[in-house]
Structure 1
Amino acid sequence: MNTTNLDAIPRDRLPALLQAMPKAELHIHIEGSLEPELIFALAKRNGVSLPYPSVEALRAAYAFTDLQSFLDIYYAGASVLLKEEDFFDMAMAYFQRAKADNVVHAELFFDPQTHTDRGVPFATVIDGLVRACETAQRELGISALLIMCFLRHLSEEAAFETLEQALPHRDKFVGVGLDSGERGNPPEKFARVFARCRELGLHLVAHAGEEGPAAYISTALDVLKVERIDHGVRCVEDPALVKRLAAERVPLTVCPLSNVKLCVYGTMADHNLATLLADGLCVTVNSDDPAYFGGYMNQNFLETFAALPQLGPREAHQLAANSFEASFVDEARKQAWRAELDRVFAAV
């Protein structure tokens, strides 16, 4: 579309536009979409005892001081996931919310080690998620891909074991990622397993530069050879890295509400998303662990744009277009989504 027209869109139309525009979500931990109500429903279904007396008490515990304080509750919530149907129900609840937010494509992270370490078979996890992805495509028109994440607080040997369990299901996921606590767990800790995944033709992504320093981003690119950086907001500590990320169009899957909830930034007004965009980086907006961090995709867009007045219709269009560019799908589908994005903006 003629992007000069974007500046003519009145600012009061922006909230409606943010909600209506098609978008892809590239940084969503499916276990992090498990709402307290569903946690309690699954606990009852599976006879699991929870350390919280009620939905309200669990939600009240979502006052995080850092990444680790969140992870402690996150893993407790995952304890209710035992059967294939549980993983299906969890993912479908997410897809329903994604549909309401006009998400047309989602690339879901899942953490098999969180479940296999509890005795849940790998097949139970991935089969439930795959069935949900197929149902979402068929019934909601949302396309979805799965990315298997290694927990970085565990050993590389444990990651290799997980990869071996995953290989019989190689056709069900498109890539691997690296998540969990960054501090003390640099990307190079997983150099060999990522090299093996690259040989297998898997897409590679990694969390870096959230709580970890900018150097972790460089290492993820140079040692792990990742195609996307999840978070990456601390790249601004290294101006040369910012220039590299812009020149190479390395996508950053930024999660604004998560960053504030985990105290990476004091308030949304402190967030550097606008700076990253102005520097020419391929930034995207995502919800991360929306059940815990206060909002799904549209809430992230609305609160970010409300707090950062330098963001307007042009940046909204750019962020949505970036999400399609950074996705792991064929160019034809990207083009179709971009055309729909232009149609929504032209109709304002």
Structure 2
Amino acid sequence: MPNPSRAALIDRLPKAELHLHIEGSLEPELLFALAERNGVAIPFASVEEVRAAYSFFNLQDFLDIYYQGMSVLLHEQDFYDLTWAYLLRADADNVRHVEIFFDPQGHTERGLAFETVLSGIERALKDGEVQLGISYRLIMCFLRHLSEEEAFATLDQAMPYLDRIHGVGLDSSEVGHPPAKFSRVFARARDLGLHVTAHAGEEGPPEYVHQALDLLEVERIDHGNRALEDAALVSRIADEGLTLTVCPLSNLRLCVIKDIADSPVRRMLDLGLKATINSDDPAYFGGYINANFHAVAEALDLTEAEIVKLAENSFTGSFLPLTDQARHLNEIAEAVHG
């Protein structure tokens, strides 16, 4: 039986989302609508057929569908509509701050201008700040299945817009593409004053997490599940207070875990790690941030104190200034006791 008190707490807690791929929030309804609006041929006759196609068994199967879905995004307004639709769902889940990823290489290689992508996403984020009270940071990801030279080219494209971009990340196919492959471009990004984060330890081994820390010098680790296989690595992550952006429903759908009860969230908390809950690619994985909280809370029988800790971690693990973090922590305390 679901615990109604716990569920109500999750719903009212302010949260930050630190691991969200904006292209992965493309719901079937919007994909179908954009295909019609832009005259893009897709192999689906209805929204229902699109939704049925959102079926996969591992990361690569998902990525194949994910990149196919990108094909309907052509104009600045498309990226605005995509981002605004996500922000409305985030607002409904009481998300007060978002740090979203976008994949410029997935669009520029299709002939779109970098500014088209950035401007559409950013315009929606700015509207979300004003109209919904959701602050943001924007993180540009490099696709790890492409070369470091291509990542450098993307960083060069971004140079005129770096005052509008807050960080860089590393995503896409993990196995066979270790963080070490991108050490030079991450060094350049750090020199430019950008925040740095990277996907590591989702399907890749603990060694990839070591490389993300030692070679990329990341400020937080996206996923990080397999770090738990290395006791020394766990101690290091705990000692350094590094944040892990865990995505429970994503882990389940991509068969990183066999059952939601296998989510590493409880174990991470027990080990003193700064775990957070995120939705990753929610249109494909079956739920936005509250759905992830509810699934994990029920499966792991999390206490209310643990749920509050996860919400607090989402702000203290963010790239917000300490004063803003403190304000959000006060709002959490008010939600708990009010």
Task: Return the match for 1:79 from 71, 77, 80.
Answer: 71
Counterpart for residue 326 of structure 1: 317
Matches within 5 A, 1:22-171: 22-171=14-163
- Residues 240-265 of structure 1 deviation map (CA, whole Å, 9 limit, x = unaligned): 10111111011000000000000000
8 Å contact kept, 1:11–1:312: no
Shift of 1:63: 2.2
Q: Is the 8 A contact 1:107 1:145 kept in 2?
A: yes
Tell me by how many angstroms 1:271 deviates.
1.4
Is the Cα contact below 8 Å between 2:3 and 2:298 reproduced in 1? no
Unaligned runs of 5+ in 1: 1-9
In 1, Cα distance between equivalents of 2:3 and 2:270: 19
SS in 2 for 1:177: strand
| Deviation of 1:78 (Å) | 0.7
Paired residue for 1:190? 182
When structure 1 is superposed on structure 2, of 43-52 and 179-188 the one drifting more is 43-52
Does residue 281 (structure 1) correspond to residue 273 (structure 2)? The answer is yes
1:137-286 map, 5 Å: 137-286=129-278
The offset of 1:11, in angstroms, is: 5.2
Dislocated runs of 4+, deviation >2 Å: none
Aligned position for 1:4: none
Contact 1:209 1:233 in 2 (8 A): yes
Q: Distance in 2 between matches of 1:143 and 1:194?
A: 25
Measure, in 2, the Cα distance between the counterparts of 1:92 and 1:110: 14
Counterpart contact for 2:32–2:50, Cα < 8 Å: no
The DSSP-based 3-state class of the residue aligned with 2:237 is helix
3-state SS of 1:145 partner: strand
| Offset from partner CA, 1:86-136 (integer Å, 9 cap, x none) | 000000000000000000000010000000000000000001111011100
Question: How many residues end up aligned between the 2 structures?
Answer: 337
CA distance in 2, matches of 1:112, 1:282: 29
Instruction: Give the counterpart of 2:329 among 320, 332, 338.
Output: 338
1:254-291, Cα deviation, whole Å (9 max, x unpaired) = 00000000000011011121000110001100000000
Q: Distance in 2 between matches of 1:252 and 1:271?
A: 13
1:62: Cα distance to partner? 2.1
Query: Partner of 2:74: helix, strand, or coil?
Result: coil
Q: CA deviation at 1:305?
A: 0.6
Partner of 2:306: 315
Letter in 2 for 1:321: E
**Cα deviation digits, residues 111-165 of structure 1 (max 9, x gap):** 0000000000000000111101110001101001100000000000100000000
TM-score, scaled to structure 2: 0.99
Report if aligned partners of 1:29, 1:289 keep a CA contact under 8 Å in 2: yes
Q: Is contact 1:206–1:226 with CA below 8 Å preserved after alignment? A: yes
Q: Secondary structure at the match of 2:320?
A: coil
- Alpha-carbon distance in 2 for matches of 1:11, 1:100: 20
**Contact 2:128–2:134 under 8 Å retained in 1:** yes
Q: Note if contact 1:236-1:242 (Cα within 8 Å) is conserved in structure 2.
A: yes
Q: Gapped runs of 5+ residues in structure 2? A: none
**SS of aligned partner of 1:189:** helix
